[in-house]
Chains A and B, each alone.
Chain A
Amino acid sequence: MIRFEDVSVTYDGADGPTVRGIDFEVPEGELVLLAGPSGVGKSTVLGAVSGLVPHFTGGTLRGRVTVAGRDTRTHKPRELADVVGTVGQDPLAHFVTDTVEDELAYGMESLGLAPDVMRRRVEETLDLLGLAGLRDRPIATLSGGQQQRVAIGSVLTPHPSVLVLDEPTSALDPAAAEEVLAVLQRLVHDLGTTVLMAEHRLERVIQYADQVVLLPGPGAAPVLGPPAEVMAVSPVYPPVVALGRLAGWSPLPLTVRDARRRAGNLKQQLENAAPKGRGELRDQPQPTCSRQHSAHPTPVGEVRALSVTRGRVQALHHIDLTITPGETVALMGRNGAGKSTLLNALVGLVKPSSGTVRLGEATPHRTAPKDLVRMVGLVPQEPRDLLCADTVAAECAAADRDAGAAPGTCRALVTELLPGVTDGTHPRDLSEGQRLALALAVVLTARPPLLLLDEPTRGLDYAAKARLVAVLRALAAEGHAIVLATHDVELAAEIAHRVVLLAEGEVIADGPTADIVVSSPSFAPQVTKILAPQHWLTVSQVRAALHPEAG
Chain B
Amino acid sequence: MGAGGTPQRRVAHPPRPGRQRRAQLHPGAWWLWALALGTAATRTTNPLLLALLITVSAYVVATRRPDTPWSRSYGAFVKLALAVILVRLLFATVLGSPIPGTHTLLTLPELPLPAWAQGIRLGGEVTAEALTFALYDGLRLATLLVCVGAANALANPSRLLKSLPGALYELGVAVVVALTFAPNLIADVQRLRAARRLRGRPDKGLRGLLQVALPVLEGALERSVSLAAAMDARGYGRTARVPPAIRRTTAALTLGGLLGVCAGTYGLLTAEGAGYGFPVLLAGLTAALAGLKLGGRRSLRTRYRPDRWDVRAWLVVASGVAVAALLALAAARDPAALHPGVVPLVAPALPLGPAAAVLLGLLPAFVAPDPKEPS
Query: Which A residues lie at the B interface, using CB under 8 A?
Result: 50-52, 55-57, 76-82, 84, 86, 88, 90, 93-98, 101-102, 105-115, 118-119, 122, 127-128, 130, 132-136, 138, 140-141, 154-155, 158, 175, 178-179, 182-183, 186, 344, 347-349, 368-370, 372-373, 377-378, 380, 382, 385-386, 388, 398-399, 402-403, 442-443, 446, 504
Contact = CB atoms under 8 A, between A and B. Distances in A.
Contacts of B303: 109, 115
Nearest to B218: A428
A97 B211 CA distance: 31
B302 A115 contact: yes
B236 A110 contact: yes
B13 A373 contact: no
A133 B16 contact: yes
Contacts of B199: 369, 373, 386, 388, 398-399, 402, 442
B304 A105 contact: yes
B242 interface: no
A373 B198 contact: yes
Contacts of A101: 21, 304-305
Interface of B: 1-6, 8-9, 12-16, 21-22, 68-69, 156, 158, 173, 176-177, 180, 183, 191-192, 194-203, 211, 215, 223, 226-238, 240, 300-305
Contacts of A52: 229, 232-233
Contact of A115 (B6, B12, B304): B304
A179 B156 CA distance: 32
Interchain residue pairs A-B with the least CB separation, the first 4: A81-B235, A105-B304, A373-B200, A110-B235
A468 B240 CA distance: 53
Contact of B232 (A78, A134, A158): A78
B226 A88 contact: yes
A118 B304 CA distance: 7
A86 B233 contact: yes
B233 A84 contact: yes
Given A108-B304, A347-B198, A402-B200, A132 B15 contact: yes
Nearest to B305: A119
Contacts of B230: 86, 88, 93-96
B6 A179 contact: yes
B355 to A, nearest CB: 38
A136 B21 contact: yes
Given A101-B21, A386-B199, A112 B302 contact: yes
B300 A81 contact: no
B173 A96 contact: yes
B69 A140 contact: yes
Contacts of A140: 69, 183
Contact of A134 (B2, B6, B13): B13
A77 B233 contact: yes
B196 to A, nearest CB: 8
Contacts of A386: 195, 198-199
B222 to A, nearest CB: 8
20 contacts: A56-B228, A56-B232, A78-B236, A93-B230, A96-B230, A96-B231, A97-B176, A101-B21, A102-B304, A112-B240, A112-B300, A179-B1, A182-B3, A348-B197, A368-B202, A369-B202, A373-B199, A385-B195, A442-B199, A443-B198
Which of A78, A106, A114, A132 neighbours the largest number of chain B CB atoms within 10 Å of its CB? A78
Contacts of A57: 229
A378 B198 contact: yes
A318 to B, nearest CB: 19
Contacts of B201: 369-370, 402
Given A78-B238, A136-B22, A370 B302 contact: no
Nearest to B190: A349
Contacts of B198: 347, 349, 369, 373, 377-378, 380, 386, 443
A366 B197 CA distance: 12
Contact of B234 (A107, A182, A186): A107
A98 B173 CA distance: 12
Contacts of B302: 108-109, 112-115, 118
A183 B5 CA distance: 10
Contacts of B191: 380, 382, 385
Contacts of A122: 304
B158 A97 contact: yes
A140 B223 CA distance: 15
Contact of A109 (B195, B237, B301): B301
Given A86-B233, A130-B9, A349 B197 contact: yes
A135 B21 CA distance: 8
Given A78-B234, A132-B16, A369-B198, 10 more contacts: A78-B238, A110-B301, A112-B300, A138-B68, A175-B8, A179-B9, A182-B3, A369-B202, A385-B191, A388-B215
Contact of A182 (B1, B15, B21): B1
Nearest to A112: B300
Contacts of A442: 199
Contacts of B240: 112
Nearest to B302: A112
Nearest to A90: B226
Contacts of B9: 130, 175, 179
B13 to A, nearest CB: 4
A188 B8 CA distance: 26
B238 A110 contact: yes
Contacts of A110: 234-236, 238, 300-301
A55 B228 CA distance: 12
